[in-house]
Amino acid sequence: MRALVTGGAGFIGSNLVEALLKQGHAVRVVDNFSTGHRHNLEPYLADIELVEGDLQSYERASKAVHGMEVVFHEAALPSVPRSVQDPLTTNAVAVTGTLNVLLSARDSGVRRVVYASSSSAYGNNPENPRREGATPEPMSPYAVAKLAGEQYCRAFANVYDLETVSLRYFNVFGPRQDPNSQYSAVIPRFIRALRADDELTVFGDGEQTRDFTFVDNVVAANLLAAGASVTGGQVFNIACGEAVTVNTLIAELADITGRKARTTHLPVRPGDVRDSEADISLARRMLGYEPIVHLREGLERTAAWLTSRG
């Protein structure tokens, strides 16, 4: 398979690049390195083709997509708070960038585009666990932009016969997730704070629930989605199907790191969802997806990776 990974220098993208190479596929990466890191790709530079550029340019997107069989579209600005602060840039990256990728894929004869969507599209829809048929109620510009990308994928499947699959990721974590970004996800931020004996900042009472999903599960889902016999524009939840509270997460991380957790609570942030748990039965049935790493093992592996980096 000739595969393009957009955002391939990022957290999820670089893990996907590694898996594709292990399976013997030809891999091209496009990234503008706005949030991705070159060091994530250093072990693979001899084995990949790297295109540096911004997908907000159709010309750059077209160059990156040309000659590819499958496009894994991971490029994004992955943060709800960032989107609240700067919705214009979030929209440009997630919506214009996705449209350029889809146009380029259509024009270049790509077989399939696998699109990285987000569970944030559900918002505070009261249905829990979340099922793909639930009415989206996006609460943040990030969620709106991700949902718009899904709809473009569906439209291109219907109008242009371009095969597209959208994967709604639930709270992905694992190695290569940047703990130093101001928009860092909660797990690497908590691990870093515990190791430094700092207070853990919790937005809200900590009883909000999340379906934390180790990155290996997401990578496996992408590989399955590239070849599964599914109808164009289909959407799938990718998670473990197990919700835990943030307070429970903190207790697990304290146990793993051997540190005592001290927390400080701040008001809930605009755009944050209260509860989120995935129904993954559709992905099981149609993709053959099954979580391969569950929460405790994933947390242990993530803590070990962060510790190894000092």
H or E element that contains 253: helix 246-257
Rounded CA separation 25/35 (Å)? 25
Given a contact cutoff of 8 angstroms between Cβ atoms, the answer to whether 51 and 19 are in contact is no
Rg of the chain in Å (alpha carbons): 18
Encoded amino acid at 43, one letter: P
Residues 6 or more apart in contact with residue 92 via CB below 8 angstroms: 56
Given a contact cutoff of 8 angstroms between Cβ atoms, the answer to whether 36 and 10 are in contact is yes
| Sheet containing 2-6: order of strands | 48-52, 26-31, 2-6, 70-73, 112-118, 163-169, 234-238
* CA-wise closest residue to 80 among 157, 24, 144: 144
Residues 6 or more apart in contact with residue 17 via CB below 8 angstroms: 5, 8, 27, 29, 41, 44, 48
Q: Which of 115, 122, 142, 289 is catalytic?
A: 142
Whether 160 is a known active-site residue: answer no
- Evaluated on CA atoms 107, 45, 179, 254, the torsion sign reads positive
**Which letter, b or e, does each residue of 113-124 get, where b requires 16 or more Cβ atoms within 10 Å of its Cβ?**
bbbbbbbbbbbe
Given a contact cutoff of 8 angstroms between Cβ atoms, the answer to whether 150 and 122 are in contact is no
Active site residues: 142
